[in-house]
């Protein structure tokens, strides 16, 4: 590998934590920065699923028809803050342009390499560390109201099967035998065996930060305000706690990467898909495995500290407070599909998924600046974080990654 470098990683979500750990293991001097505690954003509030099967993006053929139907249905899992439409329109136009068969196939081809081995990647990141205990091997069951609803998803399941994710389909009364927690509204399960999930995403992120420090890296809580280039190359990062010099920088700040890219002179088509969760405390029942509720488009995941129900999409930027409609829809669906479920309390959360118009992240060097991107993972940040971090460590260590990085080119926009 190249000589040891002084690297600053900006953003302590799963991508930043993974990059910092793998860079430290490669012999670099690493400082991880975040204005909050580790995993304070989407890395904390996600469904906890290691969704290596989530290879089909949202923007597939038929997107416009489906979106219009969803936007007028209060029980649909999609919302748009209409006052933000003028600002969102350019991104939405690019997003919709990719919703065609050729670009869908291209996006899926790009998603498979960074997702399909994600359980193994999380195991490799944490093996022998205090963070390993948060990883669970589990099946994943898509829950449908009927066999017809499952068949209506045939487009996505075709690509999943081609990638090696073939479901075991259970129908009728056998559904409740497989998952007693489900009520009669669910009549079809499509089960993927031997997948995985995280038992407590917040605790997982906190322990990964401890792993970084135990292995020689540094974590500092500071707000990054600017990136200094000298002769076109990064030489320092400006924070509210002072200037930190560096040989290279890694930008893994999720949606907050967008304003920092502007400071590098680049306008990035990155928007926030606002995701929501309800975390149920002391539930009276737990599912035998994580579930994906097909109608509500949210995951239901058993965790050590309760039952996490997380998902949906709202387009509306990062400034507005949480909306009530997504929480209400999740509550209605919980009552409908789990009629006997009771719980002692509920936590509400809303966070931002950083999404590009082609549903692929940016991974790699930005120009020849010495600043490397590792953001834009939309719904699959937790899943793809460890592999993203490993790829970034390879690039900064002059090691050739064993996959084609062209789909994630940080300069493609």
Please name the residue that has the structure tokens 């890219």.
261
Planar angle of CA 323, 50, 24, nearest 5 degrees: 105
For the chain, the domain total comes to: 1
Domain that holds residue 189: 58-83+133-199+270-355
Give the span between the Cα atoms of 207 and 198, in whole angstroms: 13
What pLDDT is attached to residue 63? Answer: 83
Q: How many CB atoms lie within 10 A of CB 331?
A: 14
Residue 392: name the closest of 23, 123, 38 by CA: 23
What's the CATH code of the domain at 309? 3.30.9.10
As given in the structure block, the two tokens for residue 56 are 């089909």
Domain annotation covers residue 92: no
Work out the pLDDT band at 9, boundaries 50, 70, 90. very high
Planar angle of CA 182, 183, 186, nearest 5 degrees: 80
Q: Which residues pair with 346 in a beta bridge?
A: 280
As given in the structure block, the two tokens for residue 345 are 């309390």
DSSP single-letter state for residue 291: E
Q: Which residues pair with 279 in a beta bridge?
A: 308, 347
Domain annotation covers residue 67: yes
Question: pLDDT tens for residues 213-267?
Answer: 999 999 999 999 999 999 999 999 999 999 999 999 999 999 999 999 988 888 8
Which has the minimum average pLDDT: 68-72, 75-79, 101-105, 329-333?
68-72
Q: Are 315 and 86 in contact (CB under 8 A)?
A: no
Domain annotation covers residue 275: yes
Domain annotation covers residue 20: no
Q: Is the dihedral of CA 61, 292, 170, 172 positive or negative?
A: negative
Which has more pLDDT, 264 or 305? 305
Question: pLDDT tens for residues 177-222?
Answer: 999 999 999 999 999 999 999 999 999 999 999 999 999 999 999 9
Q: Is the dihedral of CA 335, 336, 341, 346 positive or negative?
A: negative
Which has more pLDDT, 235 or 73? 235
Alpha helices in 189-299 (DSSP H): 201-214, 257-263
What pLDDT is attached to residue 71? Answer: 76
Question: pLDDT tens for residues 35-58?
Answer: 999 998 889 999 999 999 999 999
Element (DSSP H or E) covering residue 354: strand 345-355
* Percentage with pLDDT > 90 across the chain: 88
Which has more pLDDT, 320 or 249? 249
With b for 16 or more beta-carbon neighbours within 10 A and e for fewer, the 234-254 pattern comes to bebbbbeeeebebbbbbbbbb
Domain annotation covers residue 345: yes
Q: Are 9 and 234 in contact (CB under 8 A)?
A: no
Domain annotation covers residue 174: yes
State yes or no: pLDDT of 1 exceeds 50: no
Domain annotation covers residue 312: yes
Alpha helices in 215-294 (DSSP H): 257-263
Radius of gyration for the alpha carbons in the chain, expressed in angstroms and rounded: 21
Mean pLDDT of 299-304: 98
DSSP single-letter state for residue 327: H
With b for 16 or more beta-carbon neighbours within 10 A and e for fewer, the 210-219 pattern comes to ebbeeeebeb
As given in the structure block, the two tokens for residue 125 are 């990141």
Strands 298-303 and 291-293 turn out to be: antiparallel
Domain annotation covers residue 337: yes
State yes or no: pLDDT of 111 exceeds 50: yes
State yes or no: pLDDT of 74 exceeds 80: no
What pLDDT is attached to residue 265? Answer: 84
Work out the pLDDT band at 2, boundaries 50, 70, 90. low
Name the pTM for this structure: 0.95
Question: pLDDT tens for residues 348-403?
Answer: 999 999 999 999 999 999 999 999 999 999 999 999 999 999 999 999 999 988 89
Give the span between the Cα atoms of 169 and 258, in whole angstroms: 42
Question: pLDDT tens for residues 124-140?
Answer: 999 999 999 999 999 99
End-to-end CA distance of the chain: 30
């Amino acid at each position: 590998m190249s000589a040891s470098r002084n690297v600053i990683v900006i953003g302590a979500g799963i991508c930043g934590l993974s990059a910092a750990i793998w860079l430290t293991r490669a012999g670099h001097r690493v400082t991880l920065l975040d204005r909050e505690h580790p995993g304070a954003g989407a890395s904390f509030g996600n469904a906890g699923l290691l969704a290596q099967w989530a290879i089909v993006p949202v923007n597939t053929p038929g997107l416009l028809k489906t979106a219009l139907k969803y936007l007028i249905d209060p029980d649909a899992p999609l919302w748009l803050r209409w006052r933000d439409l003028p600002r969102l329109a350019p991104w939405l136009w690019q997003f919709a342009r990719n919703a065609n068969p050729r670009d869908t196939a291209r996006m899926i081809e790009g998603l498979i390499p960074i997702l399909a081995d994600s359980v193994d990647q999380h195991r490799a990141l944490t093996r022998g560390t205090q963070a390993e205990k948060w990883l669970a091997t589990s099946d994943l069951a898509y829950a449908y109201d009927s066999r017809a609803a499952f068949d209506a998803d045939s487009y996505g399941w075709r690509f999943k099967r081609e990638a090696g994710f073939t479901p075991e389909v259970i129908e009728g009364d056998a559904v409740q035998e497989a998952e007693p927690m489900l009520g009669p509204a669910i009549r079809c399960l499509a089960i993927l065996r031997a997948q995985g999930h995280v038992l407590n995403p917040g605790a997982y992120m906190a322990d990964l930060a401890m792993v970084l420090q135990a292995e020689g890296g540094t974590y500092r809580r500071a707000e990054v305000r600017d990136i200094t280039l000298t002769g076109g190359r990064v030489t320092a990062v400006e924070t509210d706690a002072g200037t930190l010099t560096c040989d290279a920088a890694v930008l893994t700040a999720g949606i907050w990467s967008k304003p920092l890219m502007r400071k590098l002179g680049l306008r990035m088509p990155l928007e926030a898909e606002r995701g929501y969760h309800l975390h149920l405390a002391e539930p009276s029942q737990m599912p035998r495995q994580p579930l994906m509720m097909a109608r509500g488009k949210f995951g239901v995941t058993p965790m050590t500290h309760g039952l996490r129900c997380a998902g949906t999409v709202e387009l509306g930027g990062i400034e507005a407070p949480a909306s009530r409609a997504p929480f209400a829809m999740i509550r209605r669906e919980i009552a409908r599909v789990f009629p006997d479920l009771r719980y002692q309390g509920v936590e509400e959360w809303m966070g931002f998924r950083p999404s590009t118009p082609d549903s692929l992240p940016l991974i790699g060097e930005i120009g020849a600046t010495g600043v490397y991107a590792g953001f834009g993972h939309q719904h699959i940040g937790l899943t793809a974080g460890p592999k993203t971090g490993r790829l970034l460590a390879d690039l900064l260590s002059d090691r050739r990654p064993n996959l084609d990085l062209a789909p994630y080119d940080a300069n493609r926009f």
